[in-house]
């Protein structure tokens, strides 16, 4: 991952400065809430991919800096909204914004960031880039609604029968589309041939899928210090992800009933996470998920083989490998 970031460290420093320069508001508290979450850090994986994609495609201008900030603004806006929907308590190692300033300000700050993102896209003046941003933002909203529908949250009953295919569709909409958009925007800036643009966008989609699959495993077995969030959050919220989907399809009726009791009970038991994790390990749910993630990474890297050799291409390979190696 270091070689991935070292290659673009000067541009990424400019992106960090852009975050601060673009968040001015007539309502200072909106700026404060947005800056607080952005300044907590995070991997900056999405803006870094946009910068790297633009560089790979030979872009020599400066519009990649505000557009990289835009991608992070959209991502941060979704985190703010997600935390309200999920009634989350922690985000990036500190109390979530909804805990600090309430749900209404969290939603408004997310809306503020979405508007800032679109205003940057309009100012750049490239219709295809604006179209890409709008399509990705729409998919993110649809993905969140889709998750609520498929998980049974709308009816108030957790749905344990979600399929692997349905889970993949959720991952694509909630995570992968924005990473794919970052790669596509870099290619558009560099006026890359359509074949190169599509290859980079496909790489982004596959890396995004793998990224979320790994995250879904780390929610059970990750290092709390590295993740900077509570382990088991998804399970406690009744979110059924690939490690558990795989396990539910293979465990005994008695074990399935045990899992149902843990998730559907009035109160999540203190040992609930450990019991479910043990069953997932027993049936190979984590191994399966990491194997699937690696398959998506391999497919994404394979599409990049059409590109000529470059340090940027090697950095994209390294970034993809990092996704499946990380543990936080």
Q: What is the DSSP string of 199-234?
A: HHHHHHHHHHHHHHHHHHHHHHHS-HHHHTS-TTHH
C-alpha–C-alpha distance, residues 183 and 69, integer Å: 14
Cα four-point dihedral sign 197, 54, 212, 308: positive
C-alpha–C-alpha distance, residues 132 and 135, integer Å: 5
Residue position matching structure tokens 């300033």: 101
C-alpha–C-alpha distance, residues 310 and 69, integer Å: 25
Cα four-point dihedral sign 52, 54, 58, 62: negative
What is the CATH T-level fold of the domain 2-325, as seen in this structure? Farnesyl Diphosphate Synthase (1.10.600)
Q: Could you tell me which residues are beta bridge partners of residue 94?
A: 91
Q: Is 155 exposed, middle or buried (0-12, 13-18, 19+ CB in 10 A)?
A: exposed
Low-confidence ranges of the chain (pLDDT < 70): 1-3, 92-93, 152-158, 224-229, 327-328
Q: Report which of 285, 298, 306, 302 is spatially closest to residue 324, judged by C-alpha positions.
A: 298
What was the pLDDT predicted at 157? 58
Cα angle for residues 206, 209, 214 (degrees, 5° grid)? 125
Annotated domain spans of the chain: 2-325
What was the pLDDT predicted at 227? 55
What was the pLDDT predicted at 152? 63
Residue position matching structure tokens 């793998």: 210
What was the pLDDT predicted at 265? 86
Cα four-point dihedral sign 45, 50, 54, 56: positive
3-state helix, strand, coil in the chain (%, to 5): 75, 0, 25
What was the pLDDT predicted at 158? 67
pLDDT in tens, 127-152: 999 999 999 999 999 999 988 887 76
HSE-CB at 55 with a 13 A cutoff on CA atoms is 23
Cα angle for residues 76, 232, 99 (degrees, 5° grid)? 45
Q: pTM for the whole thing?
A: 0.93
What was the pLDDT predicted at 82? 87
C-alpha–C-alpha distance, residues 73 and 60, integer Å: 23
The CA-atom distances, in angstroms, between 296 and each of 73, 175, 210 are 26, 14, 6
C-alpha–C-alpha distance, residues 196 and 97, integer Å: 39
What was the pLDDT predicted at 222? 84
What was the pLDDT predicted at 72? 96
What was the pLDDT predicted at 101? 77
A 10 A CB-CB count for 290 gives 17
What was the pLDDT predicted at 2? 67
């Amino acid at each position: 991952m270091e070689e991935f970031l070292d290659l673009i460290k000067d541009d990424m420093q400019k992106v960090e400065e852009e975050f601060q320069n673009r968040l001015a508001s007539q309502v200072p508290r909106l700026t404060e809430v947005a800056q607080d979450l952005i300044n907590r850090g995070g991997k900056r994986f999405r803006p870094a991919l946009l910068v790297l994609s633009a560089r790979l495609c030979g872009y020599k201008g400066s519009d990649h800096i505000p557009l990289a900030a835009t991608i992070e603004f959209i991502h941060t806006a979704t985190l703010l909204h997600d935390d309200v929907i999920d009634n989350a308590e922690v985000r990036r190692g500190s109390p979530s914004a909804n805990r600090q300033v309430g749900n209404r300000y969290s939603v408004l700050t997310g809306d503020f960031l979405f508007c800032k993102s679109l205003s940057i896209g309009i100012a750049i003046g490239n219709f295809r880039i604006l179209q890409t941003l709008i399509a990705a933002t729409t998919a993110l909203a649809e993905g969140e609604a889709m998750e609520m529908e498929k998980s049974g949250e709308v009816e108030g009953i957790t749905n344990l029968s979600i399929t692997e295919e349905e889970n993949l569709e959720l991952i694509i909409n909630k995570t992968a589309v924005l990473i794919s958009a970052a790669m596509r925007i870099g290619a558009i800036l560099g006026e890359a041939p359509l074949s190169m643009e599509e290859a980079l966008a496909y790489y982004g989609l596959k890396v995004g899928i793998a990224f979320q699959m790994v995250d879904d495993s780390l929610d059970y077995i990750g290092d709390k210090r590295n993740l900077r969030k509570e382990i088991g959050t998804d399970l406690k919220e009744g979110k059924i992800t690939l490690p558990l989907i795989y396990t539910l399809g293979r465990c005994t009726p008695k074990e399935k009933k045990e899992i149902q009791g843990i998730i559907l009970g009035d109160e999540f038991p203190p040992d609930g996470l450990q019991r479910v994790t043990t069953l997932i390990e027993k049936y190979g749910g984590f191994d399966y998920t990491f194997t699937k993630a690696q398959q998506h990474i391999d497919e994404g890297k394979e599409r990049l083989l059409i590109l000529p050799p470059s340090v940027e291409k090697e950095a994209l390979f390294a970034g993809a490998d990092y996704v499946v190696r990380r543990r936080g």
